[in-house]
Amino acid sequence: MAQSNTFVSAFNKVILMLAVCCISLSGFTQTVSEAKFAIRTRDFQQALSLLIPLAKQDDAEAQYLLGALYAAGKGISRDDNAAFRWFSAAAIQGHGQAQFELACLYEQGDGTAQNIQQALVWYQKASENGVYKANKKIDAIKANQSKHEQGQAIGQGTVFAAIHKQNLTQLKLLLTSSSLANVVDSNGYSALMRAIETNNFKVVALLLQSGAKVDFLGPQKITPLIQAVELKNNAMVKVLLRYKAKLDQQDSLGNSALIYATRKQAVKLVDMLLSAGANPNLANLSANTAIDFAKSPSLIASLLLKHGAIDPLSLANKQLNKQAMSKNAELFVANVAEDAPYKGWPVLNVAAWRGQIDMLKALLATAAAIDSVDVEHYTPLLRASRQGHGEVVELLLNKGAAINWQLDDGRTALYLAVEQHHSAVVSLLLQHGATIELSGEKLYPPLLLAAKQGQDAIALQLLNAGANANLIFDDHTVLHWAAQSGMLDLAAIVIKKIDNVDHQNTLGQSALMLAVINHQQPLVELLLKFGADVNLTDNNNNTALHLAAKSGKRALVALLLHHKANINLLNEQNNSALIVAASSGFDDIVLLLLEQGADGGIRNKASFTALMLAATNGHLQSVKHFVGHGADLGRRNKDGKNAQKLAKEAGQKEIANYLAKQNKSSNFLDLFN
C-alpha cells in the first residue's frame, strides 16, 4: 500500500492534543498522566516505556495512546498493524476516540483489510460514545457510496436492502425459500454475514430460521461464527452454536473462532466455545494455538489449560531432560525464568537470541522443542536470523527447524535476515531451501526489500536463487530501486530478466527517470542501451530530459540528446528543457540545448520564455547565450513586458543594461536592413 495514512497528517494537530490536553485525568493512574506529559514534551521513548506495561494490562487509555504513537511513528517505527491492534483493544473496551481511529483504519485499509462496513460500525460506536466528528464520517461514507454499491447493499426490494434497513417485516416477506436466505452479494458475503454486521440479533435469528447456511465461507474463509466472535456479540455466537455452527472451522490463515476470541480477550466467548467443544490445541498456519494469544496469567489462559490446552512455554521447558543437562544449562534455565527481559520466552529462544551456540547445543541435546514459540511468536530460528547469528542458524537448520515459519505480519527468517542486512544468514537460509517470495500481504517481498534498502549483494543472492525479477510492490520494481541507488551490477542482471523496462511508479517515474534524478549516469547508459523510452513522461509531463536539465548535469543532457530525446517537449507548466535550465542558470546546459536546436521562443503557462526567466533570475551568461543565438529580445509576456523590462523590475541592473544595449544595436542595424 502506498503508505499514505490520513491519521498521520492529523496526529500532531489533533490526536496528541486530545490525548494530552482534552481528556480528563480522573480515574486514570498517575503513570498514564506521566505518559501524557512525556508526549506533550515530545519525550516519546519515556511515554512508550510507561504505556506498554499498562496497555498489556488492558488499560484502555494506555492502549489508545500507544496506538496513536504507532500510527504516527513517534518514538518507534510507524506500524499500522500495531496501531490497529492497540486501537482495537481500546475500542473493544468502549474507548470512544479509539473506536473512531479504528474506524479510520478500516475505512482507509491501514493495518487491516479495507472494510467500509466495519468502519461504519465503529464510527457508530464512537458517535454513541460522544465522538461527534464520527457523524460526519458516517454521512460522508454513505454519501460517497457508488450507485452499484447502493444497488447491492440498499437496493429497494432486495434481501440485502431489508437487512441493511433492519426491516423485519419486509425480510419475512422476501424469505419464502432458503435460496433467498442464502443469497450472496458481489463481494462474496452471504445474507447471514451481512446481517451479523448489523449487530441485529432478530435479523440474524430470522435468517437462521429461514434456512441460512450457518457455515457459509465468505472472503478469506471467514464464517458467520468468526464474524460474531470478532464483534464480541455473545448472543449471536450462542444462537449460531445452537444451529450447529462448526466450532473448529478455520479461516484462510488457519485461525478458528476460539483463536479469534482469545485474541479479543473475550472471556465469556472463550468459555462458551470451549464448553461447546472447541479444540484448544488447533493451530493456525503459523503453528500458533489459542493459548499463544492468551495473556498470562489470565482467566482465559486458565480456561484453556482447564480444557486441555498445551502451554507452549511449559511444554518447551518441561521437555528438557534435566538428568542429561549440565550444571551450566540448569543454571541457564533457572536464570531465564527470573530474567525480566526474557519472561515468557522458552530457554531455547533466549540462547538463540543471544547467539550462545554451546548453550544451544546443550539444550538441544536434552530434547528441547526446536520450534518453541515465545510471547512475541518468534521461534529460535527467527530470533537467531534477526540477530545475524549464522552459526546458530546453521545449527538449528541442521536440526530440522521450521525454515518458513511466519510471524503474525508474515515475516519469515529469510525476511528478517534481509531486513537486518545479514548476508551470510540469507545465504544459509537459501541453501536450506527457504521460500524466497514468502512475506506478509503488506510487506515488501524480500528481493524488493533488499533492493529498496540498497543491499545489492543480498538482492543478487536472491536473484541467483530464483527470485522473481518482475515483482512489483508499491508500484516499484527492482529496477526502480537499482536505478535510484546506483546499483549497476544488480540492474545489469535484472534488466535481462524483466518484461518491462519502462514500468512507471505512482508518480509516473520510470527507472530511467529515477536514474537521472539521482545522477546515476552509468545506470542511464545501461537503461538506454536496453531500450528505455527516452521520451516517456511522468505525472507532471516531465521527460528524462526535463529532469536532467533540472539536475544541472550537462553530461546527462548530452547523453539523452544523443539517444534522440525530444528537445522541445513541454511539461504540465509548458516548460521545455531549455526553460528549466535557463530558470536555474545552468549556462552550459542552456548553450548545449541552443546548439542542438532548442526553441527559445516557447512561452510557458506563465507566459515567460527561457530568456525572460534567465534575465529575471540574474543569469547573465545564459542571457548572452540567448543573444548569441538570435533570441527575439523584443518578445513580450502577457503583461506586455520583454526580458529587459523584467530584468529591470527584478533588480537585475547589469542584465537590464546589457539587454538595453543589445536592443539599441539591433535597432541601429535594422535601419540598414
φ and ψ at 477, to 5 degrees?
Answer: -105, 170
Res. 673: pLDDT tops 50: no
Grid coordinates representing 535 are: 521520451
Of 443, 467, 485, which residue sits at a domain end? 443
Q: What's the rounded Cα separation, in Å, for the pair 313 and 353?
A: 16
Higher pLDDT, 589 or 311: 589
Res. 154: pLDDT tops 90: no
Of 95, 122, 144, which residue sits at a domain end? 144
**Could you tell me if residue 450 is inside a domain?**
no
pLDDT of residue 308: 86
Q: What's the rounded Cα separation, in Å, for the pair 113 and 115?
A: 6
Residue given cell 457455515 in the structure block: 215
Q: What's the rounded Cα separation, in Å, for the pair 456 and 22?
A: 49
pLDDT of residue 343: 64
Cα distances (Å, whole numbers) of residue 472 to 84, 480, 494, 498, 500: 26, 10, 13, 11, 11
CATH number of the domain at 60, please.
1.25.40.10
pLDDT of residue 16: 43
Residues above pLDDT 70, as percent of the chain: 85
Res. 18: pLDDT tops 80: no
Contact call for residues 435 and 404 (beta carbons, < 8 A): yes
Same domain, 164 and 63: no
**Could you tell me if residue 517 is inside a domain?**
no
pLDDT of residue 286: 63
Same domain, 365 and 384: yes
Same domain, 176 and 290: yes
Contact call for residues 229 and 199 (beta carbons, < 8 A): no
Same domain, 274 and 389: no
Same domain, 295 and 358: no
Average pLDDT in the chain: 84
Helices and strands (H and E) in the chain: how many: 42, 2
Q: What is the DSSP letter of 183?
A: -
Cα distances (Å, whole numbers) of residue 565 to 241, 516, 519, 526: 69, 13, 17, 16
* Domain limits for position 36: 6-144
Contacts 24+ apart (CB under 8 A), 40-43: 40/16
Res. 145: pLDDT tops 70: no
Among 269-273, 360-364, 440-444, 654-658, whose mean pLDDT is lowest? 440-444
pLDDT of residue 305: 86
Q: What's the rounded Cα separation, in Å, for the pair 567 and 534?
A: 11
Res. 26: pLDDT tops 60: no
Higher pLDDT, 662 or 563: 563
Mean pLDDT within 488-504: 93
Mean pLDDT within 522-535: 95
**Could you tell me if residue 487 is inside a domain?**
no
Same domain, 192 and 252: yes
**Could you tell me if residue 459 is inside a domain?**
no
Angle (CA) 99-121-274 rounded to 5° is: 85
Same domain, 74 and 176: no
Angle at which helices 116-128 and 133-144 pack, to 10 degrees?
Answer: 150
Res. 322: pLDDT tops 50: no
Q: What's the rounded Cα separation, in Å, for the pair 312 and 309?
A: 9
**Residue 312 binned pLDDT confidence (cut-offs 50, 70, 90):** low
**Residue 15 binned pLDDT confidence (cut-offs 50, 70, 90):** very low
At 477, which helix (H) or strand (E)? strand 476-477
pLDDT of residue 561: 96
Per-residue pLDDT reduced to its tens digit, 383-441 = 999 999 999 999 999 999 999 989 888 899 999 999 999 999 999 999 999 998 877 77
Res. 540: pLDDT tops 90: yes
pLDDT of residue 325: 47
**Residue 121 binned pLDDT confidence (cut-offs 50, 70, 90):** confident
Task: Using only the alpha carbons of the chain, give its radius of gyration.
Answer: 32
Angle at which helices 116-128 and 191-198 pack, to 10 degrees?
Answer: 20
Same domain, 183 and 109: no
**Could you tell me if residue 526 is inside a domain?**
no
Q: What's the rounded Cα separation, in Å, for the pair 13 and 568?
A: 45
Say how many residues make up the chain: 673
Mean pLDDT within 273-290: 85
Structural domain count of the chain: 4
Does a cis peptide bond (omega within 30 degrees of 0) precede residue 297?
yes
**Could you tell me if residue 625 is inside a domain?**
yes
**Nearby residues of 596 by Cβ (< 8 Å), 6 or more positions away:** 561, 567
Mean pLDDT within 523-536: 96
**Could you tell me if residue 136 is inside a domain?**
yes
Q: What's the rounded Cα separation, in Å, for the pair 40 and 363?
A: 47
**Residue 157 binned pLDDT confidence (cut-offs 50, 70, 90):** very low
φ and ψ at 584, to 5 degrees?
Answer: -95, -5
Tell me which residue of 3, 13, 14, 15 sits closest to 78, measured CA to CA: 3
pLDDT of residue 669: 37
Helix residue spans in 453-551 (DSSP H): 456-464, 478-485, 488-494, 511-517, 521-529, 544-551
Grid coordinates representing 179 are: 435460496
Of 263, 289, 309, which residue sits at a domain end? 309
Q: What's the rounded Cα separation, in Å, for the pair 85 and 62?
A: 13
Among 312-321, 449-458, 501-510, 524-533, whose mean pLDDT is lowest? 312-321
Per-residue pLDDT reduced to its tens digit, 167-214 = 888 888 777 654 678 888 877 888 899 999 888 889 899 989 888 899
pLDDT of residue 577: 97
Per-residue pLDDT reduced to its tens digit, 567-578 = 999 999 999 999
Q: What's the rounded Cα separation, in Å, for the pair 96 and 103?
A: 11
Per-residue pLDDT reduced to its tens digit, 212-229 = 899 998 888 899 999 999
* β-sheet bridge partners, residue 473: 476
Cα distances (Å, whole numbers) of residue 200 to 173, 174, 553: 18, 18, 66
Q: What is the DSSP letter of 320?
A: S
Per-residue pLDDT reduced to its tens digit, 343-392 = 668 888 888 998 888 888 888 887 778 988 888 889 999 999 999 999 99
In b/e form, how buried is each residue of 5-34, taking b as 16+ CB within 10 angstroms? bebbeebeeebbeebbeebeeeebeeebee
CATH number of the domain at 389, please.
1.25.40.20
**Nearby residues of 613 by Cβ (< 8 Å), 6 or more positions away:** 579, 582, 583
**Residue 132 binned pLDDT confidence (cut-offs 50, 70, 90):** confident
Q: What is the DSSP letter of 502?
A: T
Same domain, 294 and 331: no
Q: What's the rounded Cα separation, in Å, for the pair 468 and 593?
A: 41
**Residue 73 binned pLDDT confidence (cut-offs 50, 70, 90):** confident
pLDDT of residue 488: 93
pTM, two decimals, is 0.52
At 472, which helix (H) or strand (E)? strand 472-473
Supply the DSSP string of 97-162, one letter for each residue.
HHHHHHHHHHHHTSSS---HHHHHHHHHHHHHTT-THHHHHHHHHHHH--HHHHHHHS-TTSHHHH
Mean pLDDT within 616-625: 95
**Residue 566 binned pLDDT confidence (cut-offs 50, 70, 90):** very high
**Could you tell me if residue 76 is inside a domain?**
yes
Per-residue pLDDT reduced to its tens digit, 85-100 = 899 888 888 899 999 9
Q: What's the rounded Cα separation, in Å, for the pair 367 and 324?
A: 10
Same domain, 437 and 328: yes
Q: What's the rounded Cα separation, in Å, for the pair 344 and 341?
A: 9
**Nearby residues of 238 by Cβ (< 8 Å), 6 or more positions away:** 272
Res. 317: pLDDT tops 60: no
Same domain, 269 and 365: no
pLDDT of residue 560: 97
Res. 21: pLDDT tops 70: no
Res. 283: pLDDT tops 50: yes
Contact call for residues 567 and 561 (beta carbons, < 8 A): yes
φ and ψ at 624, to 5 degrees?
Answer: -65, -35
In b/e form, how buried is each residue of 115-140, taking b as 16+ CB within 10 angstroms? bbbbbbbbbbbbbebebeebeebbee
Same domain, 46 and 70: yes
pLDDT of residue 596: 95
